[in-house]
Amino acid sequence: MTAQEWPAVNPPDAEKKNHLRDIHGEQVNDPYYWMNAYFKKTADSTQIIQYLEEENRYVDQMMADTRNFQQVLFDEMKSRIKEKDESVPVFKNGYYYYSRTEDGEQYFKYCRKKASLDAPEEILLDVDEMAKGKAYFSVRGFSISPDNHWLAYGVDEVSRRQYQIYFKDLKTGKVYNDGISNTTGSTVWANDNQTVFYTKNNETTLLTENIMRHRLGEDASKDIVVYHEEDNTNYIGVYKSKNNQYIFIHSSATTSSEERYLDANAPMDEFKVFQPRIKNVLYSVVPLEDRFLVLTNQNALNFKLMETPLHATRQENWKAIIPHREDVLIESVDEFKNYLVITERFNGLMRLVIKNRQTGQEKLLSFDEPTYSVYTTGNAEYFTEELRFAYNSMVTPASIFEQNMRTGKRKLLKQQEVLGDFDKNNYASEYLYATAKDGTKIPISLVYRKGLEKNGKNPLLLYGYGSYGASMEATFSSSRLALLNRGFIFAIAHIRGGEEMGRQWYEDGKMMKKINTFTDFIDAGKFLIQEKFTSPQHLYAQGGSAGGLLMGAVINMKPNMWNGIIAQVPFVDVVNTMLDEGIPLTTNEYDEWGNPNEKVAYDYMKSYSPYENIENKSYPNLLVTTGLHDSQVQYFEPAKWVAKLRDHQKGKNVILFKTEMDYGHGGASGRFDYLKDLALEYAFLFKLEGIKK
């Protein structure tokens, strides 16, 4: 079978049912609207489930000749993972905390040791045991009471990101269910060891609406609402300061935020507003022992760091200690007794700056690879001179370092062990710039196996996202070696809509400038073709969620530029979703995409929404994936998109649609199960390239 041959099997035939969208004086028929039946729990629920199962069978039939190859790929990727492993222990409040994995087990054990790493191990949660017999199982939000007696944690068994909170008595081992459901899974302990705060979600829209106060051992029906968010465009959450003095409630939309705070020793008091929300102003608070630090973009696009007295928190008292810079974005601040560590972004790359609080002296941590990722992690203690940070690149496996902030001495605590014949010296990475149609320079990170010839014949997978200000970091992946070792180049286009080049990079790729995201990606692909890395016959693209929107847009705009596309949980029905406030998270997104109830926003969305702009033309080969229980992008968006694409498809390229019937937005929960999905995606690419082993 050659690269372009497929079995003579007809895809499922999706029924059409008229449904008119009537808004702004325009009527639009949506013949696949009925596919939301399972989500809406309407009469067509059985029909859509049957249709999704038919689509899954079609994928199996079309990819049948790769079944053995998929198993080879799965085994190969799994064989590179060290199954029996342990995380770097983190010291907090007298204990070392870590997780460890066992041979053959899908999950992990959450453990601690008292005072010394030589002390006996205490298994706090055996998640391998807890997950037995479950199709999906997620545990998050591990939170230990200040007296080290209680563990709170959240469990999701549906993949809907709705967590039930449990409490475990670490002295007796008994687990208590106080009936706390529909939460984010995280809890924050007050210093009395009896009171916790948590975030309650709306059961239907999944919006974070209330911060609740709970007393250990009481029924959740008695829990008190300590904060209700009136604005349905905001996300809210609750957290505790590193110095354990304060509990904060954070409320934030895309463009403005507000903090409330409470003395952690007085959990029954009312939260105080730190600074009332201001339109188009974001801020976050870091408490020190004698002042508050405030990171804000008020009159500072790339943010500036301010300080204010503990007793005077309003903006008129804020004074700058790190001013705004046009070319440097301040992303976050880690606080210590004698130091601050500022995470910045410059020229698209992350960097860490250690600032001595007594002398004001600054030290920039430097790294010598052309493209990489670095961030602070595991810094739970306030009174320490040791800074921990994680580093990796497209050729360097994930590494945890510890650096003494006073002496500068650095040591490697752990580096991801890649089993098999991996040698980083066999691979090369580059950091290049494409020129967008408006002259903007678009960074591209690439990795490939050394010895590559730039002859236009190399298969290349271009990845992109470009939304929410989320920067796509150049990170290592052991599973990606399966691509690189078979001749593929992997590239990331750092397009506008992310925040790689500063806050303006995000502003120029959202709302009424969203189309920049799509044209940047296309221009990145054109650059890679011009530089002879690849050609349209060998160029592939991949994106998930909002990156799936990217995939849908670029194949409408430049369908002949790609041989194949992988769209994972794609957000492709922008207009209809943003018009339906009953769909989870819709109202939170107005500051990202606009509100289509306003005609200007509606018209602009309609101009790029993938579902709205399908035409009769030859689309590239597509593999589209989703999860039936997806809480972020509902399954019916890609289902409708695929059906409409097939109805308009010209030519012989295939469109495959796979639904995971047990999973949601993040895919499988086990640490190996996701490799099955990856094996299918890689097999799809290899099939298009005629690579069979």
Handedness of CA 508, 512, 514, 520 (dihedral sign): negative
154, 141 Cβ separation under 8 angstroms: yes
- How far apart CA 547 and CA 509 sit, in angstroms, is 13
- How far apart CA 557 and CA 541 sit, in angstroms, is 14
Neighbours of 471 (CB within 10 A): 21
State the Cα angle at 209 between 204 and 211, rounded to 5°: 130
- How far apart CA 633 and CA 498 sit, in angstroms, is 19
What pairing do the DSSP bridges indicate for beta strands 85-86 and 195-201?
A: unpaired
- How far apart CA 355 and CA 293 sit, in angstroms, is 14
Residue numbers annotated as active site: 545, 630, 665
DSSP string, 511-566: GGGTHHHHHHHHHHHHHHHHTTS--GGGEEEEEETHHHHHHHHHHHH-GGG-SEEE
- How far apart CA 576 and CA 579 sit, in angstroms, is 5
Q: What is the DSSP letter of 72?
A: H
- How far apart CA 342 and CA 334 sit, in angstroms, is 6
- How far apart CA 529 and CA 300 sit, in angstroms, is 38
Residue 265, both tokens = 């020793």
Residues 6+ apart with CB under 8 A from 50: none
- Return the axis-axis angle of helices 515-530 and 546-557, rounded to nearest 10°: 70
Q: b/e map of 318-339 (b: 16 or more CB within 10 Å)? A: beebbebbeebbbbebbbbeeb
- Return the axis-axis angle of helices 636-648 and 45-62, rounded to nearest 10°: 60
Q: b/e map of 353-378 (b: 16 or more CB within 10 Å)? A: bbbeeeeeeeeebebeebbbbbebeb
Could you give the C-alpha distances from 13 to 19, 59, 265, 521, in angstroms and in order? 18, 14, 63, 32
Could you give the C-alpha distances from 516 to 480, 498, 612, 621, 641, in angstroms and in order? 28, 11, 18, 24, 22
336, 405 Cβ separation under 8 angstroms: yes
Using the structure block, give the residue that is written with the tokens 């029905």. Answer: 573
**Exposed, middle or buried by CB within 10 Å (0-12, 13-18, 19+), for 183?**
buried
Using the structure block, give the residue that is written with the tokens 């709970």. Answer: 214
Candidates 264, 203, 265, 206; CA nearest to 238 is 264
480, 486 Cβ separation under 8 angstroms: no
646, 14 Cβ separation under 8 angstroms: yes
